[in-house]
A and B are shown apart, each in its own frame.
Chain A
Amino acid sequence: MSDARRKVSVTCEVNGERATFESYPMARLLDVLREQLKLTGTKEGCGEGECGACAVEMDGALVNSCLVPALQAQGTRIRTIEGLGGSDAETLHTVQQAFLTCGGAQCGICTPGMILAAVNLFARIPQPNDVQIREGLAGNLCRCTGYMKIFESVVEAVRRSGLVETQSVTRT
């Protein structure tokens, strides 16, 4: 108990940059990201690991940051929605662009987590089929879309990334 009540220093890599913060060891990574690192793109939907709005990548794995103790971030590589792309058309990630085009975002609160889940899925399965898409997004709840436009966005992103690869192959 005494250790849990003393703040500790944690160092990790967040969106490609080294980050050091002081926090209680059992503080939620979600709160550290939002309040100390000001990365508010990560959202809290339920605080119990059900909805996935707070999903981030930690060492390449998709985690619900509301369930990750801050201490566990020590030495890890974390990627949040802010680490994915820029805010203009030039720098949007393929998945972000596809969500914009296909109507994958409505209220937007699940969107950062949902997009990270899709990106994480592609890292594991570059050409996912419908079932794999559904499974890959199963930890992220959306109340607005009924998921249909999200599936379309992911399929569109697969198509686009295929095109990009083809183009780059042609160029070389």
Chain B
Amino acid sequence: MRKQINQRQKAKILAAVVTVVLAAVTVCGILFTEAAMETDFLSRNQAPSAVHIFGTDWMGRDMLFRTLAGLSLSIRIGLLTAAISGAAALLIGIGAAVLGRKADASISWCIDLVMGIPHILLVMLISIACGRGFTGVVAGVALTHWPSLARVIRGEVLQLRQAPYILVAEKLGVSKMRISAVHMFPHLLPQFLTGTILLFPHAILHEASVTFLGFGLSSEQPAIGVILSESMQYLTTGKWWLALFPGLSLVLVVLLFAMLGERVRKLLDPASVHE
């Protein structure tokens, strides 16, 4: 009995630590945005040292500050897009399951459509439609990540609709809107929350990828994608630190988000609550 409680507590502590670390990175990034822009032409292209842990780039900017600012931007975009995508998935998923056959068929068709175009290509297209830049990336990533979660929620609602208490509510004449909001939503919450948190890693990775290709954030912004695409020009001359550290930090942040999602899933999922 004691061990079970410990397992849960461990998961809670880990989730809390991860959240704090991510929040710290975000705040640091915002605070260091100024420092990331600071150029110092006396110390250009320096390899990592005690003064500049991540080295400096061709304009003498400190790579640690640039990386932090980039990560912070990535996390904020990730939060925004995952929230939009998650909300869209919830509405569309419930809509598909509740609004009747025709709505279901057309929504399934839309999901197939979005899943048929390779993700990165679709993000590119939407970003172009919005004129690239910040709006382009946010719209592109937010509008492409809902289908898989929407499918999960649709399946869940379809099962739930046959549950006795929902049938009773229907017989009692409770409206569809009210049933979805009051009776179904609380049941979907765990799935929805974990699904949304697990959208972050994808959202962040796609944001960085699209920016890297030149369809996302403009080159003045301190984004990880921009840093890495700039570093491509200096690879052959052996400036490995320009690519290694920013990329590694991005991987770490994404891993932390994935871990957070796993922990939350374990805490909320009834099947593994007592593990």
Partners in one complex: no
A interface vs B, CB < 8 Å? none
B interface vs A, CB < 8 Å? none
